[in-house]
Chain A
Amino acid sequence: MSAVTTETATETAAVPAAEPVLEASGVVMRFGGLTAVGGVDLTVRQGEIVGLIGPNGAGKTTFFNCLTGLYVPTEGTVKYKGTVLPPKPHLVTQAGIARTFQNIRLFANMTALENVLVGRHTRTKEGLFSAILRGPGYRRAEAESRERARELLEFCGLGAKADHLARNLPYGEQRKLEIARALASDPGLLLLDEPTAGMNPQETRAAEELVFAIRDLGIAVLVIEHDMKFIFNLCDRTAVLVQGRKIVEGDRETVQNDERVVTAYLGAPLEGTTAAQEDGQ
């Protein structure tokens, strides 16, 4: 489908690329004295799969929360397709950003199908009265929603599990269900927070295929992962977050050959350049 563009951070501005979907600039998130995210810029373009990596506690999830309105960033702006996002989670989803959670947050006591139907919420309008009156319009919309939800379950490989309670699904399938639920809001950008955590190698392979398939639907993907193989197989571009700062961004070689990344992952202190220390003063 879309040509896989490999571009380094420095080239980004030079190459005439696809429309940006997400533009985060100078996002800062402080919790009291702790700066969890210290001024991160990130752009995701149409048709891209972008990776976000970094050691534990680097601020990746916090950054996601800032993008999706769960946290209101202390500083900085987030734009989706050129418009600044309102700091309310449901409005962000409405605008077109959907997400999954690192610690699975399904509606445990709803069936898989119902979970996906909840994901359709922003794309349907039927209110209280049409639900009570059950006119033909309502029936049609409800049938369409169910149809679409079943398609999405099928797409994520959960076709047979529609009527199972989410809590009774195996771990890997719960992660897939989170993706199906997120896709139900017809997003332009999908944020995946560690989608393969706890998966075995086969499941991880399947998840890779799924992410490619999602990209092929024209949905840009921003994915957090600790599994480097997964990230480098998948991503056109990867940003590395260490202690709230983006230290490198670029393709596989750029990231892998950067010695700051290596030191960060080996746990050696980044002498002098530590983001949290600078901000903490």
Chain B
Amino acid sequence: MTESTTHETSPVLPLPANLALGAAVGGGVLAAASAAMSWTWTPAFPGDLTYYGSPAGLQWLALVGGALTALLALAAHGLKGLRWLSPSGSRNGVLFAALGTFAVCWYAVVAIAVELDGLVNLDPGGWLAAVGSLLAVLGALGLPLDRRRTVRHPELHWGLYAALAVSAVLRVGFGQGWALDAVPPGIRPIFTENLWFFVVLPAAIALFRLWRLLDGRLRIGRIERPLPAARALPGWAEILVVTAVFAVGLGVVEFGVSTEYGELFVGFLLLTAFATAALLASGAVGRLRELTARHRAVTTGAAFAAAGAFPFTQSSETYVLIGTNILIFATVALGLNVVVGLAGLLDLGYVAFLGVGAYAAALVSGSKFSVFRDLHLPFPVAVLIGAAAALVFGVVIGAPTLRLRGDYLAIVTLGFGEIFRIAMNNLDGTSGPSLTNGPNGIAAIPDVSLFGFDFGEAHDFGALHLGKNGNYLLLMLVATAVVVTVFARVANSRIGRAWVAIREDETAAEAMGINGFRVKLIAFALGATLAGLAGAVQAHVSGAVSPDQYLFSSPTPPNSAFLLAAVILGGMGTISGPLVGAALLFLIPAKLEFLQSYQLLAFGVALILLMRFRPEGLIAGRRQQLEFHDVQLPAQAAPADDVPTKAGA
């Protein structure tokens, strides 16, 4: 039925069908059950995995992964009552879930063995997790999977092998010293201190080769199956499902934000990535999409409610602050998406507009470091001033540049970003007029007080506690809501269509009566205004503005490079894309401290891989999906481009 010339459904391992199913389910159950046992005898490993009966940290992930594997295996087999979990009937979801569980369990076991020096540190629980997840993977490989028929096996270029050999030799040579003679003494440290490069490069090549070999064996592919019609549920039940999904989503995001140590976060990322792939393959995501498209308002509401509930679920203020910062970053990224994603204008200095808004609002905030220290305008007015200032700058920058076609805008905005930073540094009264307090910035911005609600104080609503950061998270959420609303409404309007038309083909768009300059200027100015609005709120949330917060590139978001990366990584032209992209780009560096010095390198590699394998970004609108992959999707009545599927925090 699903056979075609290019794809087939067949098992990778020739196991009897029942054995394979049993192994997949049993392995999943074992891995899940191991969470209730001790994995290691010593609490020295982060998270304390020593208890029987109470899972902690990584064990929770094993529990979830194992359970998901077993459930998906049963659902794909057609067990009554579980079909909703695997409407497509594809077994690939089982394999992905098993791989995720395997990755988490083995990552944990190996980390325990390495960090604590030896396998003796493993308790039975750890062994069980390792064996169970392996069993699940083997079982899943014995299920009839969707596979490509063809194996593409282009030989690796000989140059890669040569690079592998040369760097291996160099590693030895620099290590022993003899290869250093060929290098001028002045630059020797470059080599001796970066020996890792000569290990990582061959390792990457070898991994790539290994991946090719493995891919040739597995030939995992994807067969597009039409989902069977869903069992009709009453409207309220569908809404309940959407709400429940967002509650689960909130739980997942909360788990990720409040991970306390790098190992757990790595495990979390591994499992979420695999679980998402699994649910995509099983068709559960597709089913959910149908639901959210039908209940757009409920979906949006649930997403915001989930984000708004976040601070109430946290006992620690630090994680709430992380949530707030993610929201700031995500909101600005969404603003940039108007410019980049819809109108196709490359803005490399977007963060400067955030800075303009922040500085403008800070100047009138009543801070004693502001030159207008006696001026304390109410918060909403300060926000409007911030947005208006950014608008003015947007028009001033855009009006001369947008008349030209080509990449001038990228160059000019890049320059503007730098000029902004330098100007803010120099407007200190000595190098220039006194306005911004130079490198020290404008600190001590008073807390917002709206309608008698002081955002600087903790508040209790019955049993619910809301700290200072929680207040600001909710405030920022309002700003996010404004930007989301503006984006959603404008994207699907006369002006939004004109932007996309300009992006697609400027000549044809002008021949259709669109004034390219005018329309691009509107996009650019709107983008700047949204950034200014976010900046004004951000100034009040962080309580201080300084020039080094608004850079083209720096290790911490938001900066122009990261903003652009968030948009591209998440998905251009969609709402949820930049939100998810921003959340990931914020969390990964914040959680993985060991990455810090190689962060930009890691981003470079990640972006290259993403552009190679998923050029439309993590979350693609229907249009983007069609644009980058030549698949023919069935036409839909409603444009489902911009269904927000997940809140930012």
- Per the bound structure, the CA–CA distance linking A131 and B627 in Å amounts to 26
Stretch at the interface among A8-16, A75-83, A113-121, A232-240: A113-121
In the complex, chain A residues whose CB is within 8 Å of the CB of B626: 109, 165, 167-168
On whether the beta carbons of B494 and A142 are closer than 8 Å, the reply is yes
Chain A's nearest CB lies how many Å from the CB of B334? 15
Most chain A CB neighbours (cut-off 10 Å) among B490, B494, B510, B514 = B494
A99 touches B635 (CB 8 A): no
Chain A residues lying within 8 Å of B508, measured Cβ to Cβ, are 101, 105-107
Contacts A131-B489, A131-B490, A131-B496 known; A109 to B511 CB distance under 8 Å? no
Contact status A110-B504, CB under 8 Å: yes
Inter-subunit contact B516/A90 (CB<8 Å): yes
Q: Does B497 contact A (CB under 8 A)?
A: yes
Beta-carbon contact of A121 and B490 below 8 Å: no
Q: How close is B441's CB to chain A, nearest CB, in angstroms?
A: 33
Q: How far is the CB of A160 from chain B (nearest CB, A)?
A: 9
Measured between beta carbons, the chain A residues less than 8 angstroms from B485 are 132
Residue pair A132, B489 in contact (C-beta under 8 Å): yes
Q: Is the CB of B494 within 8 A of A145?
A: yes
Across the interface, A93 reaches (CB within 8 A) one of B489, B498, B507, B511, namely B511
Q: Is B636 an interface residue (CB 8 A)?
A: yes
With beta carbons under 8 angstroms apart, the residue of A105, A109, A117, A185 that contacts B623 is A109
Interface string of A91-102 (1 = CB under 8 A from B): 001100011010
Tell me which residues across on chain B come within 8 A of A131, comparing CB atoms. Answer: 489-490, 493-496
- Asked if residues A126 and B494 are in contact (CB atoms below 8 Å), the reply is yes
* Residue B505 CB within 8 A of the other chain: yes
Q: Which residues of B contact A90 (CB under 8 A)?
A: 510-516
Q: A107-B500, A109-B504, A110-B501 are in contact. Are A132 and B486 (CB under 8 A)?
A: yes
User: Once bound together, how far apart are the Cα atoms of A89 and B501, in whole Å?
Assistant: 15
Chain B residues lying within 8 Å of A107, measured Cβ to Cβ, are: 500-501, 504-505, 508-509
Q: How large is the interface on A (under 10, 10 to 19, 20 to 34, 35 or more residues)?
A: 35 or more
Is A164's CB under 8 angstroms from B504's CB? Answer: no
Measured in the bound complex, the distance between the Cα atoms of B509 and A185 in whole Å is: 12
Q: State whether the Cβ of A175 lies closer than 8 Å to any Cβ in chain B.
A: no
Asked if A272 CB lies within 8 Å of chain B CBs, one says: no
Assembly CA distance A164 to B622 (angstroms): 11
Report the bound CA distance from A126 to B522 in whole Å.
13
Q: Are the C-beta atoms of B501 and A163 separated by less than 8 Å?
A: no
Q: Shortest Cβ distance from B571 into chain A, in angstroms?
A: 14
Q: Are B495 and A128 in contact (CB under 8 A)?
A: yes
Which chain A positions have C-beta within 8 A of B515?
90
Complex Cα–Cα for A105 and B510 (A): 12
Q: Please measure, in the bound complex, the distance between the C-alpha atom of A58 and the C-alpha atom of B635, giving whole angstroms.
A: 42
Docked Cα-Cα span, A90 to B497, in Å, equals: 16
Q: Which of chain A's residues have a CB closer than 8 A to the CB of B5? A: none
A110 touching B497 by the CB < 8 A rule?
Answer: yes
Q: Would you give the shortest CB distance from A26 to chain B, in whole angstroms?
A: 24
CB pair B513 A163 closer than 8 Å? no
| Nearest opposing residue in chain A for B631, CB measure | A168
B445 adjacent to chain A (CB < 8 Å):
no
Q: Are A118 and B490 in contact (CB under 8 A)?
A: no
Q: Is B637 an interface residue (CB 8 A)?
A: yes
A118 touches B497 (CB 8 A): yes
Q: A105-B507, A109-B627, A163-B637 are in contact. Are A134 and B513 (CB under 8 A)?
A: no
Given contacts A105-B508, A107-B504, contact A121 B496 (CB under 8 A): no
B632: chain A residues within 8 A (beta carbon): 168
B526 interfacial by beta-carbon distance below 8 Å: yes
Contact A118–B498 (Cβ < 8 Å):
yes
Contact between chains at B500 and A163 (CB < 8 Å): no
Most buried by B among A70, A89, A145: A89
Given contacts A107-B504, A165-B623, contact A117 B497 (CB under 8 A): yes
Instruction: Show 6 residue pairs from A and B whose CB-CB distance is below 8 angstroms, ordered by the A residue.
Output: A99-B511, A110-B501, A119-B512, A127-B494, A142-B493, A168-B632
Closest 8 CB pairs of A and B: A122-B513, A131-B493, A93-B513, A105-B508, A163-B635, A107-B504, A89-B510, A118-B501
Inter-chain pairs besides A101-B508, A117-B494, A121-B512, 18 sampled, C-beta below 8 Å:
A70-B507, A89-B507, A89-B511, A93-B512, A93-B513, A98-B512, A101-B511, A107-B500, A107-B504, A107-B508, A110-B500, A111-B639, A114-B500, A118-B497, A121-B513, A126-B495, A134-B489, A184-B512
Residues of chain A touching chain B, judged by Cβ–Cβ distance below 8 Å, are 68, 70, 88-90, 93-94, 98-99, 101, 105-111, 114, 117-122, 124, 126-128, 131-132, 134, 138, 142, 145, 163-165, 167-168, 181-182, 184-185
